[in-house]
């Protein structure tokens, strides 16, 4: 199969939306979003109706495969897979770990299988790239029997983005992917950091769920679990209310009322204290992870910013790395103010600081094609690399 002749439909089914993009080779030839699924007021009644609408509007002649984004692959999937009944059952079994996401992803898979029965369907997991994280990085320090029983461990998310971005970073620097260590900072509405050693994820900030780690648009990121007990015992909050508070009413929106970094930046520029504090909390958290991952990796070749905020906010990039010159990390103001995929550190800097536009859909296309070609690849890479070997510094 030649990569250029493939026609791949990428589906990203959320709880109330379907995002789709059709690719001819590496070119997106059609795409869009259907929103308000299942909501009163005009949207399609369910995922089947939404997907029927999407498929009817596309020229699917010669469709090679459908690539589905699936949020949670648990410990079961370390790479993308061709969907069959057993895979569907496994994704179903993982619903308790991703109660919001996996049912919607599954609905997309089931409807696509039904409507396109002769087309191979491939599931690409957000968690798969992180299956190379060593046990010491994936284990929470709690009773291991309890952890085992309830599937409590670090799974990590945004894997397709971190894989794509770290590989693009190697290309940008003209270095072999297997030889460089990168800290990838995905700063979108959701946000996560990932330490990538020689093409393998060895640490990431999102944990059992996407709640842990960096400050996000509406999620708190790291906090002391006692806060939850305290709200429950002293505040009388129900568990679902705390879940809602931490996932949807925290982060930037919790601190400022705005979940959009552009608004926070504008209000900060106008001198508003809450926006200024939110900016500081946000960038300080990133800096802490950069330092931690520097220590874990032992040697860092590149730090790469990606996703909405990472790609578009020079202020956040500069503040997150300010004062790290002793670590060989610096941002050149002029390069930082530019645009496009580029290096933004000064030419003499020891560590390359980069900006790379992420493209999770294209990564899904490439992984889907790799599955169809029976290339046995670790998740997130399209270059054949040997069996996972844990970096010495982390074992
Ligand atoms: P994503 O999830 O990658 O689409 O990123 C979305 C977020 O990027 C938005 O919520 C904004 O906060 C942020 N964003 C988009 N454009 C800009 C910009 N020009 N400056 C700062 N943040 C931006």
Could you tell me the pTM of the whole model? Answer: 0.92
Instruction: Decide whether any atom of ligand 1 lies within 6 Å of the 314 Cβ.
Output: no
Q: Measured in angstroms, how far is the CA atom of residue 311 from the centroid of ligand 1?
A: 8
- What's the pLDDT at 232? 97
Q: Measured in angstroms, how far is the CA atom of residue 125 from the centroid of ligand 1?
A: 23
In the chain, the N- to C-terminal Cα span, in Å, equals: 39
Angle at 354 between CA 183 and CA 251, to 5 degrees: 60
Fold designation for 175-355: Nucleotidyltransferase; domain 5 (3.30.420)
- What's the pLDDT at 375? 66
The HSE-up count of residue 76 (CA atoms within 13 Å, CB side) is 21
DSSP state, residue 95? G
Establish whether 126 is a catalytic residue.
yes
Our mutation pick for probing the ligand 1 site, out of 257, 308, 356, counting the most ligand atoms within 8 A of Cβ, is 308
- What's the pLDDT at 17? 87
Per-residue pLDDT tens digits for 327-346? 999 999 999 999 999 999 99
- What's the pLDDT at 367? 94
Q: What is the mean pLDDT of the chain?
A: 92
Fold match between domain 3-125+362-394 and domain 175-355:
yes
Task: Report residues of the chain scoring pLDDT below 50.
Answer: 2, 377-395
- What's the pLDDT at 156? 97
Q: How many CB atoms are located within 10 Å of the residue 176 CB?
A: 11
Sequence ranges of the domains in the chain: 3-125+362-394, 175-355
Ligand 1 atom closest to the Cα of residue 263 is 12
Q: Where are the alpha helices (DSSP H) in 135-272?
A: 135-138, 144-150, 159-173, 226-233, 239-248, 251-256, 261-269
Strands 18-24 and 7-13: antiparallel
Ligand 1 atom closest to the Cα of residue 190 is 2
Q: Measured in angstroms, how far is the CA atom of residue 36 from the centroid of ligand 1?
A: 22
CATH of 3-125+362-394, one of 3.20.20.150, 3.40.190.10, 3.20.20.70, 3.30.420.40: 3.30.420.40
Strand-by-strand arrangement of the 7-13 sheet = 27-34, 18-24, 7-13, 65-70, 121-125, 81-82
Q: Which of 126, 258, 301, 359 is catalytic?
A: 126
3-class secondary-structure state, position 163: helix
Instruction: Decide whether any atom of ligand 1 lies within 6 Å of the 260 Cβ.
Output: yes
- What's the pLDDT at 4? 67
- What's the pLDDT at 313? 98
């Amino acid at each position: 199969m030649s990569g250029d002749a493939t026609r791949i439909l990428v589906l990203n089914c959320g709880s109330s939306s379907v995002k789709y993009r059709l690719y001819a080779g590496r070119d997106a030839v059609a795409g869009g979003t259907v929103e308000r699924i299942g909501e009163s007021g005009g949207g399609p009644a369910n995922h089947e109706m939404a997907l029927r609408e999407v498929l009817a509007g596309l020229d699917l002649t010669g469709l090679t495969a459908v690539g589905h984004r699936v949020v949670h692959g648990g410990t079961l999937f370390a790479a993308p897979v061709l969907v069959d009944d057993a895979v569907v059952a496994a994704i179903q079994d993982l619903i308790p770990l991703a109660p919001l996401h996996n049912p919607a992803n599954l609905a997309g898979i089931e409807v696509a299988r039904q409507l396109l029965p002769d087309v191979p369907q491939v599931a690409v997991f957000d968690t798969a790239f992180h299956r190379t994280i060593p046990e010491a990085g994936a284990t929470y320090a709690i009773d291991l029997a309890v952890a085992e029983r309830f599937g409590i461990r670090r799974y990590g998310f945004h894997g397709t983005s971190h894989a794509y971005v770290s590989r693009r970073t190697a290309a940008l620097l003209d270095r072999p992917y297997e030889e460089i260590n990168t800290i990838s900072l995905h700063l979108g509405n959701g946000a996560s950091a990932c330490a990538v050693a020689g093409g393998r994820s060895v640490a990431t900030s999102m944990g059992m769920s996407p709640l842990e780690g960096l400050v996000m648009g509406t999620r708190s990121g790291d906090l002391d679990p006692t806060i939850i007990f305290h709200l429950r015992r002293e505040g009388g909050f129900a568990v679902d209310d705390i879940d809602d508070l931490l996932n949807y009413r925290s982060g930037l929106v919790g601190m400022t009322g705005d979940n959009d970094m552009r608004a926070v930046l504008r209000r900060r520029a106008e001198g508003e204290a809450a926006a200024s504090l939110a900016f500081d909390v946000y960038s300080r958290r990133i800096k802490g992870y950069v330092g931690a991952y520097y220590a874990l990796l032992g040697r860092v070749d590149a730090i790469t910013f990606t996703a909405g905020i990472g790609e578009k906010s020079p202020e956040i990039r500069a503040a997150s790395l300010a004062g790290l010159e002793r670590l060989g990390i610096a941002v050149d103001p002029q390069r930082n103010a530019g645009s496009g995929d580029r290096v933004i550190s000064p030419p003499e800097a020891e560590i390359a600081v980069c900006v790379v536009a992420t493209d999770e859909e294209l990564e899904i296309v490439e992984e889907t094609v790799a599955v169809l070609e029976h290339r046995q690849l670790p998740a997130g890479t399209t270059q054949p690399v040997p069996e996972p070997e844990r970096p010495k510094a982390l074992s």
